[in-house]
Amino acid sequence: MRKVIMGNHSLSYGALLSRVQVISAYPITPQTQVVELLSEMCASGELKAKFINVESEHSAMAALIGASAAGARTFSATSAHGLTLMHELLHWAAGARLPIVLGNINRAMAPGWTIWADQTDSLSQRDTGWIQFYCSSNQEVLDTIIQAFKISEKVLLPSMIVLDAFFLSHTYEPVDIPDQVVVDEYLPPYKPKYVLDTKDPHTFGGITSPEYYYEIRYKMEMGMRESVEVIKQAGKEYGELFGREYGLIEDYRCEDAEIIFITSGTAASTAKVVVDELREEGKKVGNLKIRVFRPFPFKELRRIIEHAKKVAVIDRNISFGHHGIFAQEVKSALYNHSNIPVFGFVAGLGGRDINPQTIKEIYHITESNEYPSEKVFWIGVKK
Amino acid sequence: MRLSIPEQELMTPGHLACQGCGATLAMRYTLKALGNDTILTFPACCWSVIDGPFPYTSLKVPLLHMAFEATGATASGIKAALEIKGNTETTVVGWAGDGGTFDIGLQALSGAAERNEDFIYICYDNEAYMNTGIQRSGATPWGAWTATTPVENFNSIFKKNIEEILAAHRIPYVATASVAYPEDLVKKIKKAKGIKGFRFIHIFAPCPPGWKTRSEDTVKLARLAVQTTVFPLYEIENSEKYTINIVIKKRKPVNEYLELQGRFKHLKEEHINFIQENIDKNWEKLLKKAGLI
Amino acid sequence: MQKDKKKMRESELIIIEKESDMPPMAMSLGYMTYNKTGSWRNIKPIINYDICIDCMICWKFCPDACVLIENGRPLIDYDFCKGCGICAEECPKDCIEMVEEGK
């Protein structure tokens, strides 16, 4: 069935089709439509799930941790301050190896108060042990939710599905809503192996001494590493059933490209348009979208950009005192593998538009300099 | 031989509690009352250590350790998962210390109470942050020494009235209990088990290292707290029906309770009189609410 | 049952040699009964069974659940008794004496 829906509702439909059993959420702009629609679905009986209206995002995640540990498939959505309030429990969910799936609408952090997009909220959660997907279309959001449950339940790590505030969350696009029967075939009911069970009682998450904590974290990292292949496999199987295949990255006209943009989220869609325009002008340029930020797609990224002459990383975020975060990650992926110059660009913080002109400016700076003259270029600052 | 409380033990020996720990008695009685079909969740509290380190436990029921401020929400989630899977039998218990209840966990507790979530919240109260080394909490009584309220500047804030806070949420059942009265405690927990909705039980649990008391005095102190009406035993049903379970006809003077504890050693006569006056007032208020005067 | 999810073990020291034998999260595999807390004790309760009336108050108030019921009589499990002295303090017949360890 094809429907024109907003990005936020793609999250809701993804959760519905995944047959989530417990939802717990707290409202925050620009996430509200996600949970409004889900609460309607629960109220009407379309979705057989418990919806817990908690008093904070911290409690939303705590409730999901309890529910997931007790064996339910769980979902929530949040944004910015809500996500950062959850921060402690993001560590907890991952450390407890619970396959919770969370939608996060990328919104910039206050002060000053803002509701518009940037990625600082989710990228600040980089080290919590969550798998992170950055989506560029409403279709991708819906498809990724369903894949995320499959992936998380296999590797026992939670997943965060990230989309830009307003540029995607409130944008209406035609979306193919898959048939429930086929989704059920792809994503069978959640059967946890480790669960709170009064017939087989165990304690979860107790004090762990240096004797064993280290191994538990090692196993978490092994789970994250295993997820690379699991994500690829889940994306491939999804393609076989639904005709839309997904990977860790998405490369666009990169084969013979001399300059490659590295982008994420909605900026990736804009960059593709700019690539086409520049190609018309005879410029050899391509775009590499990073879909999965954790686990970081080291190999896939190197394979695509190894023949390029330069890369231009566009970051809708900043690690103060350093670069944009994607630029840092790309540099670390290339170190010891390639000497290709990496140009780091910060753009679009707090909802400033990243339009074709912004990306063309980035292209020209990259093209006209042999090496980056600045550690990080801030595009469009009023000077 | 006739036992006044159930024989079944779901708490094993070998646990890591200090000698004479009131919190372990509270747990032992609670599990006797509830039986095997119980799931617990703990925030950070003494019990997160007492239970033992990975790969061990001292409890024969499933347990989820969680973050300090999260008990109300975590238990709500566990219950929701059981319900959606069609399990209406298992009792879910949020088990927290006074810090996790009166202070950092109050928001999630209030949220769960307001929603009238169907689980039992038990606060075992040792009147300070004992696990971190005896710092003041919202449950620390007026006059007490703690590591953050030294004797020169002893705690001059009254203990929060957590029962009234919970009762104001219009929940079906609020009760106080004491480790010195196991029969009353077991009876209340069994009663709570049979009620649907949010149930709050506040268990008074002395702490020898934190209170600077002799380990053998734990039960005696808990009993004196009831006999002096420092900690009366009562229930509030549907936020209006008050029942005092152990009515003290001849109340003991508070000093009999205070003088056994190092944490009150610095108090002068005027302080003790002040404490006594406040206890008198609180007891009178409670008697009125229970319709006994 | 998988290698990392065995039946809970009583009174046994568990040593996990390899990470592959561990569950993916901190999950209990055995009970604290391996931990003989009797070694914490410096005074020891001794029941005088001639006076004891088997009221089981010592059993009732033991924070370590280490007063056993043996043929209707209380029996202190010295493997675990931490010597807190509550049993002696609460005994209505004063028939439990706390004596120094090693005497």
Q: Which of A203, A212, A223 sits opposite C22 (nearest CB)?
A: A212
Contact A34, A5 (CB under 8 A): no
Contact (Cβ atoms closer than 8 angstroms) between residue A154 and residue A37: no
Q: What's the gap in Å between the CA of C36 and the closest CA on chain B?
A: 6
Residue B1 has pLDDT above 80, yes or no: no
Q: Given an 8 Å threshold on Cβ–Cβ distance, is B65 in contact with A49? A: no
- pLDDT at residue A239 tops 80: yes
pLDDT bracket for residue C103 (50, 70, 90): low
What does the pLDDT read at residue C102?
A: 80
A68-107 pLDDT, tens digit per residue, is 999 999 999 999 999 999 999 999 999 999 999 999 999 9
Task: Please list, in sequence order, all residues whose beta carbon lies within 8 angstroms of the beta carbon of residue A118, skipping any fewer than 6 positions away.
Answer: A106, A107, A108, A316, A317, A348, A349, A350, A351
User: Which residue, among B219, B221, B223, B260, would best test binding to C if mutated, counting the most C CBs under 10 Å from its CB?
Assistant: B219
Q: Mark out chain C residues that contact chain B at CB-CB < 8 A.
A: 14, 16, 22, 26-37, 40, 54, 56, 59-61, 63-66, 69, 72-73, 77, 79-80, 82-86, 88-90, 98
Residue A216 Cα, gap to closest chain C Cα (Å): 6
At C1, is the pLDDT very low, low, confident or very high (cuts 50, 70, 90)? very low
Q: How far is A233 from chain B (nearest CA, A)?
A: 29
CB contact under 8 A, C26 and A194: no
CB A119 within 8 A of CB A264: yes
The string of pLDDT tens digits covering residues A10-33 is: 999 999 999 999 999 999 999 999
Return the residue of C nearest to B55 by Cα. Answer: C28
CA torsion, ordered A324, A330, A335, A339, to nearest 10 deg: -100
Please answer yes or no on whether B54 and A53 come within 8 Å at the CB atom: no
Mean pLDDT of B29-44: 98
pLDDT digits (tens, 9 = 90+) for B233-264: 999 999 999 999 999 999 999 999 999 999 99
Average model confidence (pLDDT) across chain B: 98
Considering only alpha carbons, which residue of chain B is nearest residue A216?
A: B54
Contacts of B95 in chain A (CB under 8 A): none
Task: Provide, as residue numbers in chain B, all residues whose Cβ is less than 8 Å from the Cβ of C33.
Answer: 12-14, 58
CB contact under 8 A, A198 and B39: yes
Q: Positive or negative CA dihedral for B91, A198, A92, B135? A: positive
Is the pLDDT confidence value at A52 over 70?
yes
Mean pLDDT of B209-227: 98
Asked if C8 and A223 come within 8 Å (Cβ–Cβ), the reply is no
Q: Give the one of A193, A206, A216 whose C-beta lies nearest to C22's C-beta.
A: A216
pLDDT digits (tens, 9 = 90+) for A192-218: 999 999 999 999 999 999 999 999 999
Smallest CA-to-CA distance from A8 within A119, A165, A215, A217 is with A165
DSSP code at position A141:
H
Contact C28 A216 (CB under 8 A): no
pLDDT band at C51 (very low <50, low <70, confident <90, very high): very high
Percent of chain A at pLDDT > 90 equals 99
Nearest by CB: C28 against B21, B22, B57: B57
* Burial of B10 from C-beta contacts in 10 A (0-12 / 13-18 / 19+): buried
Helix count (H) and strand count (E) of chain C?
A: 2, 5
Q: Which of C17, C29, C35, C79 to mutate to test the interface with B (most CBs of B within 10 A)?
A: C35
- pTM for this model (two decimals): 0.97
Our CA-based measurement puts residue B243 at a distance from the nearest CA of chain C, in whole angstroms, of 26
Q: Provide the Cα torsion B277, B283, B288, B293; round to 10°.
A: -90
Do residues B61 and B38 make contact, with C-beta atoms less than 8 angstroms apart? yes
Q: How confident is the model at residue B192 (pLDDT cuts 50, 70, 90)?
A: very high
- Our CA-based measurement puts residue B124 at a distance from the nearest CA of chain C, in whole angstroms, of 14
DSSP bridge partners of B40: B63, B93
The whole-number average pLDDT for the span B139-154 is: 98
Q: Give me the total of CB pairs closer than 8 Å, taking one residue from chain B and one from chain C.
A: 116
Under an 8 A CB cutoff, do C27 and A215 touch? Answer: no
**What is the DSSP pairing of strand B38-42 with strand B63-65?**
parallel
Is B77's CB within 8 Å of A88's CB? Answer: no
Q: How far is B196 from chain A (nearest CA, A)?
A: 17
When scoring A100, A156, A202, A226 by the number of chain C Cβ atoms within 10 A, the one with the most, hence best to mutate, is A202
How long a stretch of residues is chain A? Answer: 383
Work out the burial of residue C79: count CB atoms within 10 Å of its CB; fewer than 13 is exposed, 13-18 middle, 19 or more buried.
middle
Please indicate whether, in this complex, the C-beta atoms of C26 and A220 are within 8 angstroms of each other: no
Length of chain C counted residue by residue: 103
Residue B81 has pLDDT above 70, yes or no: yes
